[in-house]
Structure 1
Amino acid sequence: MHSLYFLITTRFRRVGALMGLLLTTLGRPVAFAQPTAILRGTVADSLSGQPLAGVSVGLEGQPGGTATDALGRFRFAGVAAGTYTLRVGALGYRNAAQPVTVAAGETLTRTFRIAPAALSLAEVTVSQPRDPNQSLAAINQIDKVLRPVNSAQDLLRLVPGLFIAQHAGGGKAEQIFLRGFDVDHGTDFAVSVDGLPVNMVSHAHGQGYADFHFVIPETVEQLKVYKGPYTARFGDFATAGAGEFSTKTRLDASQVKLEVGRFDTRRALVMLDLLGNNNRHLFSKKPESAYVAAEYSFTNAYFDQPQDFRRFNGLAKYTGQLSDRTALTLLGSHFTSSWDASGQIPESAVRDGIISRFGSLDPSEGGHTNRTNASVVLTTGLPGDAVIRQQLYYSRYNFNLFSNFTFFLNDEENGDEINQTDARNIYGYTGTYDRDDQLGARSLHTTFGLGTRIDAADVTLRRAVRRTISDTITAGRVFEQNLNAYLDETLALTDRLTLNAAVRADVFTFDFQGIITNDNGNPEPLNGRKTRARVSPKLNVYYELTPTVQLFARSGYGFHSNDARGVVRGTRNDNVLPRALGYEAGSTFKPLPGVVVNAAFWALHLEDELMYVGDEAIVESAGRTRRYGADFSVRYQLTRALFADVDLNYNHGRLVGVAEGQNYIPLAPRFTSVGGLTLKSPQGFGASLRYRHLDRRPANEDNSIQARGYFLLDGVLSYTRSRFQLGATAENLFNVAWNEAQFANPSRLRGQTTPVVEQLHFTPGTPFFIKVNASVFF
């Protein structure tokens, strides 16, 4: 362990030294430069007084710009003496400006308090000076304001180009499709909420399992999307991309909401502002807020077998400033759900009239799960324009699932039902040090990150008959730890050209102590411990062609870890942390004041992977893959209240080193698109009409079986006043018979005598569904 740590830290220091030398050389000041001034300040919400992070700040008529840090602070150094107009702007806030006059050698401070305002795309900026890798920032902010969100699943759909599919009664994590990936339940897409990791390592059901259902959709305030492995802040699973969700720091008003819909669907939501505007303070006299939120959902869904799906979510959050330089965030949440599932069914069973499209071959499928989270974040401003953010978090997680994918294929008498359980504790720490500095006349932003995550889990895979356990396939204790560090440097090479260079180092310890059933059906010990490391460099370039056109070229290495049980059993140690290489080029631009466009051409290469298949307790090699494609997104404000949007995503993926015609990547999407029209106003009527389309795609390697595509249309209506809101949501307006989750595999029905063949299995998608809702604000 010590030798590996020495190797990693030595490489990290060497790369960091080379980066520092490059950046120092590029930013070397010109001799005899004229004395300059420093302009600094803060930006806060005019209603709450809370500092605002990520607000764009610029000097009118000058290229480039900056953004506020985690404490709402900004800084311009190297400002030539003269008179300027200082402008600040953020989506959902009214732009503000102040004239400033600075003299050589002077340090000038300005304060802004900006007020919330209706959405205006004319005020959207395309550059992201503090976080240049988030080229989708403008798109993400617009979508969060405009797109209707009715469930936790809808939050994931806010990621441009991301599709999901549910195939277990609503209780399991969804299948995720992005950039030519069927990333299963999250193997190649990293998800976090308020800094809490959602993906589960060495999960009983599948590597990277990302159950997002513990999030109350009305509490989410912001989404940041990063496609590709180009950002050093993300490590494990962030190959196709990563999504960061943040919950609200404060409520505009308390709320009670009730929903009723088809298929015995009911939901109740309560959100309470605990402090309001009555000047009560918990920890300080500085601005602070606290609220609690809770929801309860029930549905029997549209299957012949009632799903009896029940879910409860609770959240409590405090945000406040302890001093001018210190902010504290406390968060606690609890989630629990249970369900019965109809599962996926073979096409032949429906075609032969054995069951309907909404029937079930094993009604005993289903399960229950719960998760409890606690987090504390301390953000501290240091002298010299530096900020330290530290977070400690803990999660307690339980999972118990009964599934049957092949029915009577392996056991013609009792059936093939399996039971997977996962009981784990997650402990984590992340710390970042951010600093704005100068290299000569050029601004330099440095981020150093350090973190660790520990998973201690008891996992089992057992055979079952109608939820009665028969025998154990594998069981044991997983201990997995990730230590990581990264250095990220962003240097303004010129007024228009920005370089972002970074390197990340990860060290993993995999440990499994347990048993596994061998090929002869006998249990035998499976104990082992391995340590592996991965270094991932990144290099990105951004050019501001005009204030409304930003060009970018990005590249980087990433990886995803494999299941600890597969690591311990595997013989190919080089594939414990399979590497991904990605690169892309594109632009974010505004051809008109009310139009925002993002376009990118990308490619991604993955190494040969050892994959642990949780459903069967076996290790498989997925082989090398190569993908490339194009993403295109447009947001258009037609009038003050009417908006249009469209996402087009083309993906081409193949297995590498496999004969032509046998090299398709199963279930990898080829073309996806979403779009719609939205009428949005603070008061009065609102509406949205949206479509989503997923093309046909190969379901197996030779494309002899295809997963069926679909085109769906959904609608939303609402009427909003200051004290209440009424609304209705309709899904699948044309009542299309579509398949949500689809897989190609063999199966056998009870008493089946015909030869077993591989065929398409599917979970039917939602038929026409409508629900109404009513909210009261106070």
Structure 2
Amino acid sequence: MNAPIRHAPRLRLHTLGAIVCACVALSANADGLHATSLMHTVLPEIDVVGPNEGTPLGSSDAASQGTIGAPQLNNRTLQRPAEVLEHIPGMVVTQHSGDGKANQYFLRGINLDHGSDFATTVNGVPVNLPTHAHGHGYTDLNFLIPELVQRVDYRKGPYAAGDGDFASAGSANVVYRTRIAQPFTDFTLGPHGYQRGVAAGSTDVGEALHLLAAVEGLNNNGPWRTPQGLRQRNALLTLSSGTTAEGSSISLSAFNAHWTSTDQVPQRLLDAGSLQGQAFGRFDTLDPSDGAHTSRTSVSGEWHQRDDRGATQLRWYALQYDLDLYSNFTYQTASNGSGNSDQFAQRDQRQVLGGTLFRSWVVDGLGHGFAVNTVGLQLRQDRIRASLFNTTQRTVTATVRDDDVTQTLTGLYAQNDTPWTSWLRTVAGLRVDQWQAQVRTRLTTDSGFGSHSHQLSPKLSVVLGPWARTELFINSGVGFHSNDARGTGPSASSTAMPASGLTRSRGDEIGLRSQVSEALQTSVALWRLRFDAELTYVGDAGTTEAGRPSQRQGVEWSNHWAPSSRFGLDANLAWTRPRYSDASPEGGFIPNAVQRVGHVSAAWRQIGPWSASMTWRYIGPAALLADNSMRSQANISSNLRLTRHVSLNTDVSLDVLNVWNRTNNDIQYAYSSQLAGEAAPVLDRHVHPAVPRTWRLNTRVRF
């Protein structure tokens, strides 16, 4: 029982070096790809050519739907790869542990934890991991290479028939390029041992094929007293052929990372400034053995065919994933003088197979123009070994649970998009999902249990206009999130009823989008989202259980102003009222449900040899307990990017994170923990600090 957990094999450095050399040697080719809609319908292609187009009128089914192009993504400084999602109005991406771990996500008053109610895909391949050893829906985007992102298509709310599991708050599909105009290398240096290198290139292979290759290496110790020693290696190969009318591609992705993490610490310790006579500050850790190792390898493919009368697309994917994660959030509550800590290890090993097939076809409309019908099939199976251990300094002292899980989710959907008149269009959809799981524990001879659940989800969107360059949207739909399979049967915690495999959500929205002038676009959305049960992660049991029902309602206001080709301004504000919808003496506030979010981004381009951008983010306070007796503090941060175009093929950029050096917290929780010398656990605020003012210097060379 004292054997350390073994790590998966690591990607070797000499292999990375060889791929880097290959990337630099690739010849340049023009990027002729067009951006196409995420919607599973036949729509005109939209060529994303500038940084400030916004979302054109007539291109979406909701005021809260949109597309973010590569120029917009390049305008902002990114501390983490997953921050590409912060371009989605109202989305917040933070971290409560080491930088190699999946981020914390917040949207529409929902603490999405590591991704529980927001569906994320990269080139159509799902990133969310159900029945995960650490958190259901775990969404680790650290394998993302931002320089390769062509666009991000996003939707909020459960209004689209093509969106299934985890898409109650919304969904995003990150689309990679298959061609780049010129091979390039990026090298970035910063304090605390920050080093990042990226190399990418693409070339024709014969007459019909095109190859794109990219590699990334990242080292970072961070500002922590115990260096996190993040070592991240990443590679991508994509082979594509054909055109936007008919073509195919296949991609191979490999990612590997390990790190030591500084997790959140109690506020009472920071206020005291010392622990047992030793100084203790914001960047210290209570357990320097916390950390993790993870790897992700996938192969995926896509085939499509489009013409004036219809479109067919097939996507498939296979994924191998591993995570060994060591955490200690309560420190010594179970020690009782034994010397053991509260550290625990979570191991997730899985293989995933899945795919999506849809067919859209044009029919004569009953009123005005042509209608589009779409049918689609989605299939995914996860074979998982999820384990939970008690550990001390990464040495196993007890096995809490060790389960084999096989779960399958099948979704069938149909959608009709009909323009009835020049000012009225409806999008009606229906999807049926069937969830099945088999859970078997390795700790007993019990044969385990099986669970199954199904969900019927109707959807409807009404689009009115445009009148006076303004569209009105009315949206309603039923969605769902799956639950951890281990919590759906008799092996779940004895203190709670088993959860259903699928939990229903219901969303409604009224919004408008207006092209006020050629330079200014604005959109407003009033929305409501209800869950039959919130997800509750139970760490001691290693599972996720259904919690109390809830309702959230709010308003979002997004503005995009581009008075010239050299200046652009985006301003997004979101307000939410999150509450439990049942009566309970615990209180009606939903812990960690952020109520106010603001993003402002300004970009100046090509003022002589210079370009610059400035971003400002506001995260308002939130209840940390259901009775609202403890609240988080607001977080205000600003980032700056200054770029000098040294020559035709060389750029040098300076990024400054947390420009004003504010003492921010990336995350704040309220729970009980026990420090050395304390007689009993203490309810307290626990915080994970954001980085202090930090600079990073980047050089990009194109070949």
TM-score (norm 1): 0.81
Q: Give 1:724 deviation, angstroms.
A: 0.9
Q: Is 1:216 paired with 2:136?
A: no
| 1:423 aligned residue | 349
* Inter-CA distance 725–591: structure 2 relative to 1 (3 Å threshold): same
| 1:67 aligned residue | 43
* Inter-CA distance 480–682: structure 2 relative to 1 (3 Å threshold): farther
5 Å matches for 1:324-339?
A: 326-339=246-259
Q: Which AA in structure 1 matches 2:36?
A: A
Q: Which moved more, 1:690-699 or 1:615-624?
A: 615-624
5 Å matches for 1:287-436?
A: 289-321=210-242, 326-354=246-274, 355-381=280-306, 385-412=309-336, 413=338, 414-436=340-362
Q: Which AA in structure 2 matches 1:389?
A: Q
* Inter-CA distance 127–251: structure 2 relative to 1 (3 Å threshold): same
Q: Which moved more, 1:613-622 or 1:601-610?
A: 613-622
| 1:39 aligned residue | none
Q: Which AA in structure 1 matches 2:654?
A: A
CA distance in 2, matches of 1:635, 1:134: 13
CA distance in 2, matches of 1:260, 1:143: 23
> 1:640-672 deviations in whole A, cap 9, x for unaligned?
201111110001011112258811100000101
Q: Which moved more, 1:560-569 or 1:436-445?
A: 436-445
Q: Which AA in structure 2 matches 1:328?
A: S
Find the partner of 1:602 among 521, 527, 547.
527
* Inter-CA distance 615–241: structure 2 relative to 1 (3 Å threshold): farther
Matched-pair contact (CA < 8 Å) for 1:381–1:388 = yes
* Inter-CA distance 612–513: structure 2 relative to 1 (3 Å threshold): farther
> 1:560-584 deviations in whole A, cap 9, x for unaligned?
0000100123585673311100001
Find the partner of 1:53 among 15, 21, 36.
36
| 1:100 aligned residue | none
Q: Give 1:700 deviation, angstroms.
A: 0.9
| 2:611 aligned residue | 686
| 2:553 aligned residue | 628
CA distance in 2, matches of 1:363, 1:196: 35
Matched-pair contact (CA < 8 Å) for 1:595–1:634 = yes
* Inter-CA distance 418–573: structure 2 relative to 1 (3 Å threshold): closer
| 1:472 aligned residue | 399
| 1:90 aligned residue | 47
Q: Is 1:188 paired with 2:117?
A: yes
| 1:77 aligned residue | none
| 1:106 aligned residue | none
SS in 2 for 1:253: coil
* Inter-CA distance 419–574: structure 2 relative to 1 (3 Å threshold): closer
TM-score (norm 2): 0.90
* Inter-CA distance 684–126: structure 2 relative to 1 (3 Å threshold): farther
Q: Give 1:290 deviation, angstroms.
A: 2.0
Q: Give 1:158 deviation, angstroms.
A: 1.8
SS in 2 for 1:144: helix
Q: Give 1:67 deviation, angstroms.
A: 3.4
SS in 2 for 1:209: coil
Q: Is 1:144 paired with 2:73?
A: yes
5 Å matches for 1:693-708?
A: 693-708=618-633
* Inter-CA distance 140–699: structure 2 relative to 1 (3 Å threshold): farther
Rg larger in structure: 1
> 1:682-717 deviations in whole A, cap 9, x for unaligned?
983110111111111111111111122111111001
Report the RMSD for the aligned CA atoms in angstroms: 2.4
5 Å matches for 1:574-593?
A: 575-593=500-518
Matched-pair contact (CA < 8 Å) for 2:166–2:480 = yes
* Inter-CA distance 530–616: structure 2 relative to 1 (3 Å threshold): closer
- Percent sequence identity is 27
CA distance in 1, matches of 2:62, 2:298: 29
CA distance in 2, matches of 1:586, 1:142: 26
Q: Give 1:226 deviation, angstroms.
A: 0.5
Q: Give 1:135 deviation, angstroms.
A: 4.9
| 1:449 aligned residue | 376
Matched-pair contact (CA < 8 Å) for 1:576–1:610 = no
CA distance in 2, matches of 1:511, 1:661: 34
Return 5+ residue gaps in structure 1 as ranges: 1-45, 57-64, 73-88, 93-117, 517-522
Q: Which AA in structure 1 matches 2:108?
A: R
> 1:172-202 deviations in whole A, cap 9, x for unaligned?
1011110000011111111000011000010
Q: Which AA in structure 2 matches 1:388?
A: T
Matched-pair contact (CA < 8 Å) for 2:486–2:543 = no
Return 5+ residue gaps in structure 2 as ranges: 1-28, 275-279
Matched-pair contact (CA < 8 Å) for 2:76–2:614 = no
Q: Which moved more, 1:469-478 or 1:163-172?
A: 163-172
CA distance in 2, matches of 1:587, 1:550: 5
| 1:735 aligned residue | 661
Matched-pair contact (CA < 8 Å) for 2:499–2:545 = no
| 2:165 aligned residue | 236
* Inter-CA distance 603–551: structure 2 relative to 1 (3 Å threshold): same
* Inter-CA distance 623–339: structure 2 relative to 1 (3 Å threshold): same
| 1:172 aligned residue | 101
CA distance in 1, matches of 2:471, 2:452: 42
SS in 1 for 2:270: helix
| 1:668 aligned residue | 593
* Inter-CA distance 54–180: structure 2 relative to 1 (3 Å threshold): closer
* Inter-CA distance 47–172: structure 2 relative to 1 (3 Å threshold): closer
| 2:415 aligned residue | 488
> 1:458-503 deviations in whole A, cap 9, x for unaligned?
1100000100011100002110100111001100010111000000
| 1:161 aligned residue | 90
Q: Which moved more, 1:546-555 or 1:167-176?
A: 546-555
Matched-pair contact (CA < 8 Å) for 2:386–2:403 = yes
Q: Give 1:326 deviation, angstroms.
A: 2.8
Matched-pair contact (CA < 8 Å) for 2:429–2:458 = yes
SS in 2 for 1:698: coil
Higher relative contact order (CA 8 A, sep 6+): 2
SS in 2 for 1:707: coil
Q: Which moved more, 1:420-429 or 1:588-597?
A: 588-597
